[in-house]
Amino acid sequence: MPPARPSAPVRLTGFDLRVLHMPLVSPFTTSFGTEDMREVIIVRARTADGEGWGEVVTQSAPLYSSEYTEGAWDVLRRWMIPALLDAPSLAAEDVAGVLSPFVGHRMAKAGLETAVLDAALRVEGRSFAQYLGAVRDRVPSGVSVGIQRDPAALVDAVGGYLDEGYARIKIKIKPGRDIDDTAAVREAFEQIALQVDANSAYTLADAELLAELDRFQLLLIEQPLQEDDLVDHATLAGRLRTPVCLDESIVSAKAAADAIALRAASIINIKAGRVGGYLEALAIHDLCRAADIPVWCGGMLETGIGRAANAALAALPGFTLPGDISASSRFYARDIVTEPAVLEDGHVRVPVGAGLGVEIDPVALDDFTVAYEEVLR
Ligand code: OSB
Ligand code: MG
């Protein structure tokens, strides 16, 4: 269901865009590469009544998806922001429609919609959680663990996160770093909730190898094949006991409905950035719930802005598996919000303040900013 009560329209006066470079506490390695710095775009919506914040979760290179920072920056400043500023007054629920002529670029769209929604809800004094229909005040926190030097180093890293209290472990895999890595973690920690993420690194020809993962009692395998391999995912799912979960393939509510109809996924990872915003994410939640498909909230190494919004989303009733909503300290020594998310008994609190419920630390924001541009009406 769309939010019971829509947000009030805002009178936009402009947006400002920043590219941030935020150092990671340790390098993060996936099947598509290693990062030691998070490059991210932060959006501020300016309105006649106040401001709102959003995050564009692109990375510097188009390796996870076709979107990347410079492409998003260009489409935001040249196309999307001018289209939004054309309307004298705009509700967050209308942002996706205004931006719909522009094909793709969902992460860019999500950042704008989130900023407008934050601005509107701050004026109303309503939280993201209330707006979206959250039913929990805290959410279980899972952690995504990158590929390490060797399986022993992976076991060490996982042990550290378990000591911190994380409720679920996800390890990244790729060809050559799959069965042995998973076996090492499962042997060291027999009872933990464990899942793997391949980030599209395999093909259907690897089905037999991937079936070897069946012996590890995994919660799921995430995105083994390419983004547009829905039919192959369905074939693979038929050959595995481990549930197949889709991440990259789920770019919209339509893609989610198609994946479910094809039996390409029995679990779905919802990332608001990847699908164009929290309203599309809500639509996916609702259709999965109706189809009895469990969902969980994915992450894109969000700053305190996106992390707050993700916690609110993950508090919806259909989110029955722990999300990649770790404490800010999992990735960052210093965040851009004054009260970064912390781990409490394996959970992260859902913010209760108006809008996203977090305040920006202007000094930190400034320190990480490497590019700035205002687009005004
Ligand atoms: O596939 O889920 C993914 C990070 C960047 C890009 C893709 C993914 C990830 C993660 C990290 O796994 C999730 C997080 O933010 O904790
Ligand atoms: Mg993933």
Q: What is the pLDDT of residue 3?
A: 84
Tell how far the Cα of 28 is from the centroid of ligand 2, in angstroms.
13
Tell how far the Cα of 300 is from the centroid of ligand 1, in angstroms.
5
- CB within 6 Å of ligand 1 — which residues? 64, 144, 197, 199, 247, 298-301, 324, 326
Mean pLDDT of 147-165: 98
* pLDDT exceeds cutoff 80 at 371: yes
Count of C-beta atoms within a 10 Å radius of residue 137? 13
Q: Which of 30, 171, 332 to mutate to test the pocket of ligand 1 (most atoms within 8 A of CB)?
A: 30
Residue listed under structure tokens 């719909």: 100
| Planar angle of CA 245, 209, 257, nearest 5 degrees | 20
**Which amino acid residue places its CA nearest to atom 1 of ligand 1?**
199
Mean pLDDT of 162-174: 98
Nearest ligand by distance to the CA of 64: 1
**Which amino acid residue places its CA nearest to atom 13 of ligand 1?**
299
**CA 142 to ligand 1: nearest atom:** 16
Q: What is the pLDDT of residue 269?
A: 98
* pLDDT exceeds cutoff 70 at 7: yes
Q: What is the pLDDT of residue 1?
A: 66
Nearest to 332 by CA among 110, 34, 35: 35
Work out the pLDDT band at 241, boundaries 50, 70, 90.
very high
Q: For residue 219, give Cα distances in angstroms to 19, 32, 95, 268.
A: 36, 23, 36, 12
**Which amino acid residue places its CA nearest to atom 9 of ligand 1?**
300
Work out the pLDDT band at 14, boundaries 50, 70, 90.
very high
Q: What is the pLDDT of residue 4?
A: 76
Tell how far the Cα of 143 is from the centroid of ligand 1, in angstroms.
9
Q: Which of 35, 269, 300 to mutate to test the pocket of ligand 1 (most atoms within 8 A of CB)?
A: 300
Work out the pLDDT band at 124, boundaries 50, 70, 90.
very high
- Write out the catalytic residue numbers: 172, 271
22-74 confidence digits (pLDDT tens): 999 999 999 999 999 999 999 999 999 999 999 999 999 999 999 999 999 99
Q: What is the pLDDT of residue 16?
A: 97
Tell how far the Cα of 138 is from the centroid of ligand 2, in angstroms.
22
Q: For residue 221, give Cα distances in angstroms to 2, 15, 28, 31, 166.
A: 30, 39, 19, 14, 19
As a whole number of angstroms, the distance between CA 119 and CA 140 comes to 27
Work out the pLDDT band at 145, boundaries 50, 70, 90.
very high
Average pLDDT, the chain: 97
Mean pLDDT of 227-237: 98
Q: Are 42 and 106 in contact (CB under 8 A)?
A: no
Tell how far the Cα of 59 is from the centroid of ligand 1, in angstroms.
11
Q: What is the pLDDT of residue 2?
A: 72
**Which amino acid residue places its CA nearest to atom 6 of ligand 1?**
300
Residue listed under structure tokens 């893609």: 255
pTM: 0.97
DSSP string covering 82-108: HHHHTSSSB-HHHHHHHHTTS-S-HHH
As a whole number of angstroms, the distance between CA 79 and CA 50 comes to 23
Domains of the chain: 12-125+361-376 (3.30.390.10), 130-349 (3.20.20.120)
**Which amino acid residue places its CA nearest to atom 4 of ligand 1?**
300
